[in-house]
């Protein structure tokens, strides 16, 4: 029997400097993973998946359908399809989750109910309890949401693992080893502050108190770490498992 990999290599796609792997990157590194963070917005080429043990696609301010404005997005989608075909453990966060959906035939668009922002509960489906990655976190917990777009239709074969009471998709198993989450497990207030600055005008118009929102997220730091570090640990175990 093959032994678990030592220091599994994870390819990480970062779409903007204000959307880093942050806490998830720290947790994966602490779990023994080696992260190769690729920054195509800065000119990095998106490499092929050969030689990697897992694939992590982060969030970003662009849309999942903005291929003409961001030339690397079609390449990332092609890598997603390769990951599905090769059973490579893959996780998409926010935009990454949406890119996976589009790559596999689903649809993404503006949330008709408006922007999701702040600490929100995650409502798991029955299918989540036995999921190999999300099963260990599929109990009541809150997460940070900060998104305008959502997955509006799942691709064929996908399994819904969490959705809000209003029907907004929160987590999906897209294939046997491919997942997406709308929640942001990676962020802390230092990551969120530039996002808040970018949304300041629209939030003021909607009566959102950004200072209170960020203060609540900061106060929940220990809760959020306990809630979402197991997701990173589980992904690290999948990356280290023999294939």
Catalytic residues: 94, 184, 186
* Long-range contacts, 46-49 (Cβ 8 Å, 24+): 46/13, 46/72, 46/75, 46/76, 46/79, 47/11, 48/79, 48/82, 49/11, 49/79, 49/82, 49/83, 49/86, 49/88
Return the SS3 of 68.
coil
CB 232 within 8 Å of CB 225: no
Euclidean distance between CA atoms 131 and 187, whole angstroms: 24
């Amino acid at each position: 029997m093959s032994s678990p990999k030592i220091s599994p290599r994870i390819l990480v796609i970062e779409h903007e400097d204000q959307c880093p792997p942050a806490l998830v990157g720290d947790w994966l590194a602490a779990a023994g993973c080696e992260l190769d963070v690729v920054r195509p917005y800065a000119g990095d080429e998106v490499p092929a998946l050969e030689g990697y043990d897992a694939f992590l696609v982060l969030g970003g301010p662009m849309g999942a359908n903005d291929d003409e404005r961001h030339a690397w997005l079609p390449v990332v989608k092609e890598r997603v399809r390769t990951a599905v075909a090769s059973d490579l453990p893959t996780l998409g966060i926010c935009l990454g989750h949406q890119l996976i959906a589009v790559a596999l035939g689903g649809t993404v668009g503006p949330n008709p109910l408006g922007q999701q922002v702040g600490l929100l509960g995650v409502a798991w489906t029955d299918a989540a309890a036995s999921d190999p990655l999300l099963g260990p976190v599929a109990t009541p917990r809150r997460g940070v949401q900060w998104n305008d777009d959502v997955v509006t239709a799942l691709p064929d074969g996908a399994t819904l693992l969490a959705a809000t009471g209003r029907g907004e998709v929160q987590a999906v198993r897209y294939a046997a080893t491919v997942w997406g989450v709308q929640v942001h497990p990676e962020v802390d207030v230092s990551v969120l502050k530039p996002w808040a600055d970018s949304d300041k005008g629209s939030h003021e118009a909607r009566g959102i108190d950004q200072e209170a929102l960020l203060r609540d997220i900061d106060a929940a730091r220990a809760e959020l770490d306990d809630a979402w570090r197991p997701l990173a640990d589980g992904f690290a175990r999948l990356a280290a498992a023999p294939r």
